[in-house]
Amino acid sequence: MTGTTAAVLPAVDFDLPADEAAELAEGLDHIGDEHPDTVLLVARALGAEPDARSVDILGVGPDGLRLAVGTTDGSQRPVQIPFRTPVRTSLEIYGALMGLVAAARGVVGTGEPLTSIEAEFLEDQTMTTVAATVSACRLLAPNLLEITLAGLAPLPLRGGDEYVVLMPDPPAEVLRPGFSVQDLAGIPLEAAPRAAYTMRARRPASGEGDVWLVLHGDEGAVSSRLAAAGPGTPIAVWGTRRSYDPPAGVRTHLLVCDETALGAVAAVLDGLAPDARAVVVAETADAGGRPDLPVRPGVEVRWVDRSGAAPGTTPALLDGVRAALAESPLLADRDGVFVFGAGEAARMRELRTSLRQETGLARDRVRLTGYWNAAR
């Protein structure tokens, strides 16, 4: 079946299952949003557009990457950047995209500054294993466990929604000096399960930090191991990165999450300026699943329930966001609104599409990330 994606996302012209095509489109959208400098380098160096000013990713297909390049005279031109070898799977497509970045670098040489993707790649080599241990666990709600980790002092402190990769009960090989997050690619997931989690809080003086872990049954290799961990359990940690990075001019934050991003939203609230305004739309199973959030005047929290439905299966968040936009006086000044949040991947796609179509918010005013995938 050929994957089809919403019009606002890049097109994926490959014979892929629909959910994989949608995820790939979202990945391309993310690259366009978060790494425009890298796409611009590719357009300039490989698309014969040395004067390109801006670039949009239109889509990807067997023939390569399709771009719309904005030129100095204000016009837009379609540009096709062919892949060097034929690709079929998502993994091969991502590999080919990285190949384009390397080829573009080969053309421009080292005189041009590193692009954001190249800088992240280099930074990954320096993200070596931090050997932490669990020091405490506290149940915040029936399906939300706060895990405190000790030994985090070597992790860079970025604030906001900083996140890490956690690997409970790590094998010896990842603990050897110099083992980096890039080396994880050589270790199958089944052999050493790991997943991304957000630091709800860091206490640099003690080297401790908390994670709010969603308990979702036994099928999750990482979450079930973390849930079973007790004081002293070893956890390998790599990080940190953060994606919360509002553009200039933001006056009100619209923070949207299911349980997986409650920790991220709480951490972002902690870091807001005292006069910043925020509206939180947070989804939980029911009223019993709501942990305390850092609320103060100028911060409005709107909880939405799934009413017994499985996580990631209802439009509860979308409905909650639409209601907040219609009703909250804090969101009346749309020009200053920045939407940030995360949750189930398809639900985030649905929300992103609606926000772009219904509110006219600019692309850089909406940062919604898929944290987990109900289709897996």
Ligand X SMILES: Cc1cc2nc3c(=O)[nH]c(=O)nc-3n(C[C@H](O)[C@H](O)[C@H](O)COP(=O)(O)OP(=O)(O)OC[C@H]3O[C@@H](n4cnc5c(N)ncnc54)[C@H](O)[C@@H]3O)c2cc1C
Among 5, 38, 148, 223, binds ligand X (CB under 6 A): 223
Among 73, 219, 275, 292, binds ligand X (CB under 6 A): 219
β-sheet with 366-372: strand ranges across: 299-305, 277-284, 252-257, 337-344, 366-372
Kindly give, in sequence order, each residue whose CB lies less than 8 Å from that of residue 263, ignoring residues fewer than 6 positions away. 197, 198, 199, 200, 210, 211, 212
Angle at the Cα of 13 (from 7 to 16), degrees rounded to 5? 105
Q: Which is nearer to ligand X, 221 or 250 (CB)?
A: 221
Q: Which is nearer to ligand X, 206 or 373 (CB)?
A: 373
The residue at minimum Cβ distance from ligand X is: 220
* Binding flag, residue 211, ligand X (CB under 6 A): yes
Q: How far apart are the first and last CA of the chain?
A: 18
* Binding flag, residue 222, ligand X (CB under 6 A): yes
* Binding flag, residue 195, ligand X (CB under 6 A): yes
* Binding flag, residue 193, ligand X (CB under 6 A): yes
Q: Which is nearer to ligand X, 157 or 323 (CB)?
A: 157
The footprint of ligand X on residues 76-115 (CB under 6 A) is none
Strand locations in 45-117 (E): 54-61, 64-70, 76-81
The type of residue at 141 is A
Could you tell me the smallest distance in angstroms from the CB atom of residue 51 to ligand X? 36
> Is the CA virtual torsion 88, 91, 96, 100 positive or negative?
positive
Query: Which of the stretches 4-12, 190-198, 270-278, 285-293 binds ligand X when contact is defined by CB under 6 A?
Result: 190-198
The type of residue at 58 is L
Among 42, 181, 192, 213, binds ligand X (CB under 6 A): 213
Could you tell me the smallest distance in angstroms from the CB atom of residue 74 to ligand X? 37
Using alpha carbons, select from 40, 75, 72, 34 the residue that is nearest to residue 55: 40
The footprint of ligand X on residues 293-332 (CB under 6 A) is 311
* Distance from C-alpha of 307 to C-alpha of 309, rounded to nearest angstrom: 6
* Binding flag, residue 374, ligand X (CB under 6 A): yes
CB 67 within 8 Å of CB 58:
yes
Among 18, 68, 196, 276, binds ligand X (CB under 6 A): 196
Among 30, 158, 216, 322, binds ligand X (CB under 6 A): 216
Which contiguous run of DSSP H or E holds residue 123? helix 116-126
Could you list the residues that contact ligand X (CB under 6 A)? 163, 193, 195-198, 211-214, 216, 219-223, 260, 263, 311, 371-374, 376
